[in-house]
Structure 1
C-alpha cells in the first residue's frame, strides 16, 4: 500500500472513568506536555462507570492550549447528528480549532437500545451514518444560504438553520472494519480510525484497498482520507515505521491510561519521524499537510503556490474550495474573494506568512485582525490574506500601573471585558467588534477621546514582523522612528503581533442617547460643535444624521461622560441637551465594557458590496462647514453622516509626536454615500477640513494619503518606508509610496 505523505501525528487514547473524574483530564494535559498532537476519549454513554465524553472533552479543551481533541469514537445512535454538529462546531470555536469528529455507527445494540437508541442492522447502521454525515456537514456549511432539509430513513432535518461554522475544517474520522463501512469512508469521510487489537492479519491492507477503490470511484484522491490507528503502548518503533511507509498510517494513537506508558511512547516520536522522513526522501514521497478533493482544487487560482506552503501554514490555510472560505468572502460592509488565506498562530508563523507574501509580491495583500472595519481593506479579490485572529491575547501585565498586552486578533469588546474587573479601560473606537490590530495602528478615535486621547496615545511598545521577516519590538527607546510611524500609519510597515499599552483608570460612566429635531441642520451643527468644544473633557461622543423623514431630520447623539456621579453627568450633558428640541432621551450609569458590548455584533460578517465612504478632520464646525454638510444631506448624496468628537486630550499631544497628525481637530467626520455625486459633494467640504482619518475612508490613491498626512509627515513616512519596506510589500492599505514620484494606485 502507498505512503500517502500525511504528516506523522501521535495521540493518546484515554478512558473517561468516573471513579477518578479528574484523571482523564490530567492525562490529556500530560499528553499535551509530552508533545502529543491528539488526545482522544472512548465514548460509551451507557456505561455507568464512564463520564459523558462530550462534557469531558469540553473540560479538557479548557485545560489545554495546543492539543487537538476527539472522541474515539462517538456513539452516533445516541447523539442526534444535527445537535452533534452544533456541539462540535461550538467546541471547535471555543478551543480555537482543536476538535476532530471521530464517529462510530454503533455496535453494542442491547446497551444502546436500553438507553433509548434504536436497534439497527449492520446495513441500516451504515445508511444512518451516511445520512448523519450529510446533516453534520450541512449544519456546518454556512456558505449555503438555504435552509437544511435531509429526509433520511433514520435521520431527518426539515428546514433547519445552518451554523455555526467551526473554526476550522473539522475532519470526520470513522471507526470501521466491514467493507460497506470502509466504502463509505472512501466516498465521504476524512479518515479511517480502526484499532490494532481488533484487526486480523491482512485486515489493514484490505481495508486500505477498499477505501482507496471507493475514493477513486467517487472521484476523490485516496490521500484525502487520513489513516489513523489505535495501537498498544508496547508497539515497537520498527513496526510504527513499517506501518507508516508501507501501509500509509500517519496517526498513531496509543491505548491505555498509564502515565509511564504515555511517557515511554513519547520518547520514540523523534526517532519515528526521522526514520519515516528518511524513507520518504529515498522513495520520493512528498509530505502533504492537507489533501483537497478535485472540486476544491478546481477553485484554486493561477499564480499561487498552494502546494509550496510551509507545513505549519498549510494545515490551517484556507482556499476558495474549503468550507471555511465563506468567512473570508464578507467583511463588515465589503465583499471579498481572496485566493489564499493564511492563519498563523505564532509570531514564527507570521514570519512564514510574510515570506509567502514576498514570494507572491505581485498579488494584493490584506492583513485581517478581527471583526469590524469600514473600508474592508483586510480582504481582497484574488490575493493573499494573512489572518492574525488567532493572536488574540488580552493580558494584564500590571494591574497597578495599568500595563496590558494585547494581541492584534483580540476584539476591543473582549479587551474591555477583561480589563473591567481591574477598573481599567483603553479608549478604543466606538464599536466593540473592531479588532485590536487595525485600530491600534491607525489612531483609535473612541468614547474616551476627549478625556484620555487616542488609542495610539497609550501605546508603550509594538512588536511587529517587517517586510523582510525580521521581528522587532519598537518603542520610544528602541527604533523610535518606527514607533512614530506605527502610531498612525502602521499598516504600511509590518504585521503587528502584539501591543503593550497603559490602560486608564475608569469606573462607572454616564452614557446618554439623545434624539434631536435637527431640521434646521446647519444651525444644529453649529450649536453642536460649539457645545461639544466647550464641554468638560469628560464628555465625548458623536452625532449621526441621515435623510429627512416627513420633512424633519432627526439627529441621533450618543455621549459618554467619564464620571460616576449622576449629578455630574447631568450637569455636563445639560448644555448639549438644550441645543435643539429633544425628541427622546435616555441617560444611564453603566461601565465601559457594557457600552462596548452594546455596540458589538457576534453574528457572521455579511458585507457583500463596495462601501463608499469619505472621512475628514475639522478643527471646528464653522458656519460654512455646517452649511456644506446640511446641503450634502439635503441633496441626498449621503445617507449616513457621523461627526465624532476629538479634541481635548487628543490635542494635548503635539502633531509631530505620531504619524497621526490631526491633533488640532475637534471633530472627525465620516459619511456614507453612493455614486459620483457624493464624491463631488464631499469635495465642497474639503476646503474646511484640516486632515483625514483613514480608518473611515474608502478612497484610494495618493490623494487620500496626502489628505491624511501633512507634507512633513508624509516625507518622513516615505523615508521610513524606504528603510523598512523599500519594495512596498505592504501597499494595499493606504500605500505610502517610498518613491518621491508617487503614482496612482499600488506599486506594480
Structure 2
C-alpha cells in the first residue's frame, strides 16, 4: 500500500489486527478485505476514498453491514466502514429536523430521539445501519403512517467519487438529493442525513399467530383489510409451514398510544383465520428497534433473498404465495404491508417509484439451498409481482436494476450515477 495519510493514522485495520475479525464481514457474507478504513468524520471519509482509489483495489462502503447483498465487504479490496460516524442530533426541535450520521444503527437513532418524543420509521431491526436503509428506501414498522424513510430526508452530506464534499438539498444539488433518496449507493458516500421526524412516543404492538388455509383465503383477507385499514397500522407477516397447514406469524404496529385505536386496528386481524395465539401491549417505539439488537456482523446469517410488489392481492396471487411457502423448496416467505403514507408521494419525486403497491412479498433461502432453489420457488410468483425493493435483493445485477428502477426512473438513475460517479466506482455489479 502507498503511504497512509496522516488523517487515517490508526484508522486502518489490516489482517492480524485484533479488530479485523469483527470488521471483515457483513451479516450475510464472510470476506477477507485487504484493509478496513474507519473514518470518524466527513473529511476523513474523503481522505479514505482518495486513499482507497489510489490502491486500485475493489471498494466497498459500509454503514451497518446488515445489507442482504453482502456488497459492503469484499475479498482483497478496501472497505470504508462508517461505524465510527454514529452521531444523532436534534438540530431543530420545532421543525422536528434530526441530523443522523450514516454509521448510526437504528437502535441508536431511536434511543437518541426518545427523550424528545420523536421517531423516524427505521426498518425492523435495531442493528440495521442508517446509511444503507436511508439511501435505499426505508420500509419499517411505521411505514403506512410515516411513509418511507427517504420521503422525509430534507438534506444529505455526500462525498462524491472525486473526494468532493457536497450538500444536497432542495436548493443545492437537487438532482443529487433525488438519487440519494432511493438509489444513493451508486452516486457517492452519504455521510449524514437531515431527516424530518414525527411526534411519537408509544405505539401499539401485537404478535398474532394465525392458522391459514393453503388456498390463500386468509392472506387475501389480510391484504384486503390492510388496503382499507387506518394508516397507523403497519404489519409484517411470516409464513411458516406446520404439518399440512401454514401458520402466519403477524407482527402489527399501530402508531398511536390510544388503546382504543390500537384494539380497533388489530381486532380485524384476528378474524382472518384460526387464531393460535396473540399478545398486545403499548410499548415505547425504541423497544421495536432495541439496543439489544446491536451486534457485530460476522457472516452469521448466509442467505439469498429476492422480492416483488403487488398492487392488489388477488385470490390467485394469495394461492401462489401459500403454495410457494409450502412447496418443496420451502423458502421463508414474508409479506410487508405498504400503502398509506407511501402513496402520498408522487412516483417521480424520489428514486423509489413504487407508490401504488399494497404488499411487498419477500422470499429467502438458507444454506444448503441457494440461488437455484430460490429461483425455482420464486418462478410462479415472478410473473405476478411488479417491481422490487433494493434493500431486499441479494443479487444486484442488471435484471434486478430493471425491476427496482423501472422505465423513466431507471433512465434518470443511470444518468445521475454517470454524472456523479463517471468511473463507476460505486456501481459494483449493477451493470446499469
Q: What band does the TM-score fall into relative to the shorter chain?
A: over 0.9
2:188 counterpart residue number: 494
Q: CA deviation at 1:608?
A: 5.0
Cα offset, 1:521, TM superposition: 5.5
1:615 Cα deviation after fit: 1.4
Q: Contact (CA 8 Å) 2:27, 2:301: kept in 1 or not?
A: no
Matched, 1:321 2:16: yes
- Gap change, CA 1:566 and 1:697, over 3 Å in 2: same
| 1:405 counterpart SS class | strand
Q: Which runs of 5+ in 1 are unaligned?
A: 1-304, 738-748
Aligned to 1:126: none
Q: Which of the residues 365, 385, 397 maps onto 1:689?
A: 385
CA-CA distance at 1:564 after TM superposition: 1.3
Following TM superposition, by how much is the alpha carbon of 1:703 offset from its aligned partner in structure 2, in angstroms? 0.4
Aligned position for 1:391? 85
Distance across 2 between alignment mates of 1:477 and 1:668: 33
Q: Would you say 1:574 and 2:258 are equivalent positions?
A: no
- Aligned residue pairs total 428
Measured after TM superposition, the shift of residue 375 of structure 1 is: 2.5
| Partners of 2:363 and 2:374 within 8 A in 1 | no
How far does the alpha carbon of each residue in 1:126-153 deviate from its partner, in whole angstroms, 9 at most, with x for none?
A: xxxxxxxxxxxxxxxxxxxxxxxxxxxx
Q: 1:357 to 1:521 in 2, by over 3 A?
A: farther
Tell me what 1:541 maps to: 235
CA displacement at 1:309 relative to structure 2: 2.3
For the 8 Å contact 1:445–1:454, the answer to whether it is kept is: yes
Looking at structure 2, the residues matched to 726 and 605 of structure 1 have their Cα atoms a distance apart, in angstroms, of: 31
Contact 1:614 1:698 in 2 (8 A): yes
Instruction: Give the C-alpha shift of residue 551 in structure 1.
Output: 2.2
CA contact (8 A) 1:411 1:434 kept: yes
1:520 aligned onto 2:211: no
When normalised by structure 2's length, the TM-score is 0.95
Q: In the alignment, does 2:301 pair up with 1:605?
A: no
Equivalent positions of 1:433-582 (< 5 A) are 433-520=127-214, 522-546=216-240, 548-582=241-275
How far off is 1:604 after superposition? 2.9
3-state SS of paired residue (2:331): strand
- Secondary structure (helix, strand or coil) at the match of 1:446 reads coil
User: How many angstroms apart in 2 are the aligned matches of 1:458 and 1:465?
Assistant: 21
Task: Give the TM-score of the pair, scaled to structure 1.
Answer: 0.56
Any idea what SS the aligned residue of 1:655 has? coil
3-state SS in 1 of match to 2:375: helix
User: What secondary structure sits across from 2:237 in the alignment?
Assistant: strand
Q: Distance in 1 between matches of 2:237 and 2:223?
A: 10
Structural mapping, 1:145-164, within 5 Å: none
Q: Which runs of 5+ in 2 are unaligned?
A: none
By relative contact order (CA 8 Å, sep 6+), the higher-ranking structure is 2
Displacement, 1:623?
A: 1.7
Give the conservation status (yes or no) of the 8 Å contact 1:328–1:379.
no
1:669 equivalent in alignment to 2:358: no
Select 1:585's aligned residue among 269, 278, 285: 278
Q: Where has structure 1 moved over 6 Å in runs of 4 or more?
A: none
Deviation at 1:700, TM superposition (A): 3.0
Q: State the shift of 1:666 in Å.
A: 1.1
2:340 — aligned with what?
Answer: 648
CA shift at 1:333, angstroms? 2.4
Cα distance in 1 for residues equivalent to 2:278 and 2:85: 40
Alignment of 1:246-261 (within 5 A): none
Post-superposition shift, 1:414? 1.0
TM-superposed CA distance for 1:730, in Å, is: 0.4
Provide closer, same or farther for how the CA distance between residues 720 and 736 of structure 1 changes in structure 2, counting only shifts above 3 A: farther
Distance 2:301 2:281 in 1: 36
C-alpha deviations, 1:88-121, integer Å up to 9, x for none?
xxxxxxxxxxxxxxxxxxxxxxxxxxxxxxxxxx
Q: 1:544-592: per-residue Cα shift (whole Å, max 9, x none)? A: 113x233232111101111212121111111121111110000101121
Question: Taking structure 1 as reference, are residues 590 and 608 closer, same or farther at Cα in structure 2, changes over 3 Å only?
Answer: closer
Instruction: Check conservation: 1:367, 1:386, Cα contact below 8 A.
Output: yes
Larger relative helix fraction: 1
Distance between the aligned counterparts of 1:631 and 1:450, measured in 2?
27
Larger Rg: 1
2:40 is matched with which residue: 345, 354, 363?
345
Secondary structure of the corresponding residue to residue 644 of structure 1: strand
Change (3 A) 1:490 1:660: same
Q: What is the aligned partner in structure 2 of residue 30 from structure 1?
A: none
Instruction: Report deviation, 1:350.
Output: 0.6
CA RMSD, 1 decimal: 1.6
